[in-house]
Amino acid sequence: MSLTFDKTDLFSWRVLCALAGGEVPWPDDAEEHIHLMSLDKGQVLFEIGRPHPYLYVVRQGCLKLLYRGANGDEWVQDFVAEGAFFCSLTALVGGLSSYACEALEACELERLHYPWLEQTASQKQAWQQALLSGWKDYATRKELRERDLLTLTPPQRYEAFVRTHPGLAQRVPQKDLARYLGVTPVSLSRIRGRLKA
């Protein structure tokens, strides 16, 4: 459904302002391109291999971004919760989404039509700065995630997750956290037990 409340109530506007380093001008057609969405726990937001030219900001709840193998195996790419933004980059550049997104809790999201974001950024310097900063942030997160997977031991990956995602370790199912860390649920239970001891 279209948003009809003040821009200051939008998480997406706050995120854009933070990324731009100041207030961003609000376009007259914003309400046509920003929509509030609700998801039930377990509901899939988008699937692998589909066009999906949208960027999301999480107002409430937690979601997982995941890959699926041909035999049904899952690998969790990331978790996103309140205040975070996410998208499938391959879908934004005209391709298909490379991963799926599923709600781990009941969620409220703001969905922004990305072609409109790019068009607005081409006309407004503050929006251009916000998008550039957003992509830098997104690329940095992905680079650090890749580094952790390639260079850290499973216990170190768990400690890094707890440090960089405060509170999420208690919110996400253990099987999903294990898939994120690249270990089995049993191994994760042992890691947690050793660290508590």
- Long-range contacts: 157-164, Cβ < 8 Å, 24+? 157/181, 157/182, 158/188, 158/191, 158/192, 158/195, 159/195
Q: What pLDDT, in 10s, does the model give residues 128-147?
A: 999 999 999 999 999 999 99
Residue 124 has pLDDT above 80, yes or no: yes
Token reading at 163: 């440090």
For residue 84, give Cα distances in angstroms to 113, 150, 187.
17, 24, 29
Q: Could you tell me the pLDDT band of residue 1, with boundaries at 50, 70 and 90? A: very low
Q: Could you tell me the pLDDT band of residue 80, with boundaries at 50, 70 and 90? A: very high
Q: Could you tell me the pLDDT band of residue 2, with boundaries at 50, 70 and 90? A: very low
Torsions phi, psi for 67 (to 5 deg): -100, 150
Q: Could you tell me the pLDDT band of residue 4, with boundaries at 50, 70 and 90? A: low
- Long-range contacts: 186-193, Cβ < 8 Å, 24+? 187/154, 188/154, 188/158, 191/154, 191/155, 191/158, 192/158
Q: What pLDDT, in 10s, does the model give residues 88-97?
A: 999 998 889 9
**pLDDT value of position 5:** 57
Q: Could you tell me the pLDDT band of residue 3, with boundaries at 50, 70 and 90? A: very low
CA distance 58 to 74: 23
**Quick one: which H or E segment has residue 60?**
strand 54-60
Kindly provide the b/e burial profile for residues 42-71, where b requires at least 16 CB atoms within 10 angstroms of the residue's own CB.
eeebbeeeeebbbbbbbbebbbbbbeeeee
Q: What pLDDT, in 10s, does the model give residues 100-120?
A: 999 999 999 999 999 999 999
